[in-house]
Amino acid sequence: MENPADLFVYGTLTDPALVRQLLGRMVPRRPARLPGWRRAASPHHPYPTAVPDPTAVLEGWLLEGLTPQDLAVLDDYEDVAAGLYRRIRVEVLVNDERRPAWLYAAP
């Protein structure tokens, strides 16, 4: 199995019940911040998206220990293949410690 990954979430995936429904299990999560990003309305769909903003800090949650299979399920949920979001690597802050994570952001 590949190394588990972490995912920074800031919208519908902040709901633990939804994540459990999608993945079939509870996922450990911790409050996190993403400097240099903000939440914004998308011109393409009714869901929020993350966009770069050097003056902002996006508040959210870090979902920890996701498998490649988990990420594939979440990619489907976020319509990555259709271009609704793209999954990119970022660094988040958890208790002022920098951690690498995935992020669903504007395409």
- Check which CATH number belongs to the domain holding 17 and give it: 3.10.490.10
Q: How many domains does the chain have?
A: 1
91 catalytic, yes or no? no
User: 36 is in which domain, residue-wise?
Assistant: 5-105
Residue holding tokens 């999954």?
Answer: 87
**Alpha-carbon dihedral of residues 44, 92, 78, 52, nearest 10 degrees?**
10
90 contacts 37 by C-beta, under 8 angstroms? yes
Residue, of 25 and 83, whose pLDDT is higher = 25
Residue among 29, 43, 45 nearest 82 (CA) = 45
Active-site choice (2, 64, 78, 91): 78
pLDDT for the residue numbered 3: 65
pLDDT per position as a tens digit, 28-85: 999 999 999 999 987 776 788 899 999 999 999 999 999 999 999 999 999 999 888 8
User: Furthest-apart CA pair in the chain: how many Å?
Assistant: 38
103 contacts 60 by C-beta, under 8 angstroms? no
> What does each C-alpha distance from 56 to 1, 15, 37, 97 come to in angstroms?
36, 23, 6, 18
